[in-house]
Homo-oligomer: A and B are copies of this chain.
Amino acid sequence: MRRGFYIGRFQPYHNGHQSVLEHISREVDEIVIGIGSAQISHLPDNPFTAGERVLMITRALASLGCPFYVIPIEDILRNALWVAHVQAMTPPFDLCYSSNPLVMQLFKEAEITVQSPAMYERETLSGTAIRSRMINGEPWKNLVPPVVVQVLDEIDGVERLRQISQKD
């Protein structure tokens, strides 16, 4: 049994995340997906709640063919404790997939293997770019799995993002 950990903020979950997870699903037996900054929502850079992100991810991975866990991870605001925090909140895992320099360093100091899935991810995609498209009324639906469009419709997510991105 080999379990891999992957963390993101998923604001929103997009095709880049999907591509990385499909890749990971071929390398491990189970995937633990951590939703970072779980307690944050309703901000221009973090518009969606943890629960909304759980829904996006779970639906998008319905046909992944690899068991996975989706775990909200609240910020602990102490980097030196973050790996222990993640480990307390998740089933045990054997390796971490990340291309974030801080995440990579923290897992490395904790002597946990890190693999960078960078090449599959973010070539053309980033949450920042997608949120910007949503705010500006530019096309974005092709950049996320269809079920994410559906979740965003249900929660009126684009309207929320536009509203909270206005200047006071």
Bound CA–CA A49/B109 (angstroms): 13
Would you give the 0/1 interface string for A68-79, flagging 1 where the beta carbon is closer than 8 Å to chain B?
011110101111
Given A54-B69, A91-B54, A163-B105, the answer on whether A41 and B79 have CB atoms closer than 8 Å is yes
Q: Are A81 and B79 in contact (CB under 8 A)?
A: no
Q: A80-B42, A84-B80 are in contact. Are A90 and B51 (CB under 8 A)?
A: yes
The answer to whether A42 and B106 touch (CB under 8 A), given A72-B71, A80-B49, A81-B76, is yes
Determine the distance from Cα of A109 to Cα of B52 in the docked complex, in whole angstroms.
Answer: 14
Chain A 25-40 interface mask (CB, 8 Å, partner B; 1/0): 0000000000000111
Counting CB contacts under 8 A, is A64 at the interface?
Answer: no
A88 touches B99 (CB 8 A): no
Q: Which residues of B contact A79 (CB under 8 A)?
A: 40-43
A132 at the interface (CB under 8 A from B): no
A55 touches B91 (CB 8 A): yes
Q: With a CB–CB cut-off of 8 A, which chain B residues contact A168? A: 99-101
What are 14 sample pairs from A and B whose C-beta atoms fall under 8 A apart? A39-B77, A39-B78, A41-B79, A41-B88, A49-B87, A51-B71, A55-B92, A58-B69, A71-B71, A74-B74, A78-B85, A81-B81, A101-B167, A105-B160
